[in-house]
Structure 1
């Protein structure tokens, strides 16, 4: 079964609390998305494998450690995931970036794919799929299914806010994918929005509503 990690760091709780407020400005909301994503990524990368390498300091030769293998790839689900990716790139600037475009059918609440572009060596990398909201779990599950169909197996999912219904659906659909959550909220409403939530993350990031 998936490992589900809900953040308990005071900084994350504080910043998400500011994001929830309806009077938080677009700029401040956008900045907080990047900041919280970076903090969640710090936890999500805790178990990355390391390898020893020999380096030379200004004084002596010594053994240091670096992340093993082809390293990392961030895959935001468009469009709201883009600013999460920006925050993670502040922490891991050499990571490659792919993109998956999905939108939610407002009647069925199911995801519809419209775009997918990945690095050519994505199957050799640790993949971090990012989306601010894990609501019904449909978009996240569809995105990860798409990645697996392309031969990718080392996948993690990061979100700012999640509903229990989305966590259950994603962990059942992909029990091999670990889920890292900024805040686990109460439930979904009848329209598939997270309560108490923070509204539509994409609209609040881009000021489109």
Structure 2
């Protein structure tokens, strides 16, 4: 993942909740946790709504000191790394960057 912008308060000795709506491959979560820990955070916890097993496994492998809390654990990722059955891509849905393929509005 590429970091485009980062502005954080001093984190030395702080306890940090790292929030993301979805944990798919885990690439961004691993990078974000590493950045926060490098700034001296005492503890980081990753919190998401939906996670895929691949993302949870990647966090456990690369950031074992960062526990993952997810409201739901879905079954897999598709070929586009979208969580299945999941929500598709949360950012695309939020910002309308993918065409809407659901039920048309009335």
User: What is the TM-score with the length of structure 2 in the denominator?
Assistant: 0.85
In the other structure, the counterpart of 2:27 is 138
From 12, 33, 37, give the equivalent of 1:123: 12
Q: Encode CA deviations 1:11-45: one digit per residue, 9 max, x unaligned.
A: xxxxxxxxxxxxxxxxxxxxxxxxxxxxxxxxxxx
**Which residue of structure 1 aligns with residue 53 of structure 2?**
164
Q: How far off its partner does 1:178 sit? A: 1.3
> Counting strand residues as a fraction of each chain, which structure ranks higher?
1
Q: Give the RMSD, CA atoms, in angstroms.
A: 1.3
Distance 2:27 2:97 in 1: 23
Give unpaired runs (5+ residues) of structure 1. Answer: 1-110
Task: Determine the C-alpha separation between the residues in 1 that align with 2:77 and 2:88.
Answer: 12
Match of 2:101 in 1: none
Is 2:87 the counterpart of 1:198? yes
Kindly indicate whether the alpha-carbon contact (under 8 Å) linking 2:22 and 2:48 is maintained by their aligned counterparts in 1: yes
1:206 to partner: Cα distance: 3.1
Q: Which has the higher helix share?
A: 1
How many pairs are equivalent? 98
- Alpha-carbon distance in structure 1 between the residues aligned to 2:14 and 2:34: 16
**By how many angstroms is 1:183 displaced?**
0.7
Aligned counterparts of 1:204 and 1:185: Cα–Cα separation in 2: 18
Please, which runs of 5 or more residues in structure 2 have no aligned partner? 99-106
Structure of higher CA gyration radius: 1
- Superposition pairs of residues 41-56 of structure 1, within 5 angstroms: none
The 2-side partners of 1:163 and 1:204 are apart by 18
Q: Name segments (4+ residues, structure 1) moved above 6 Å.
A: none
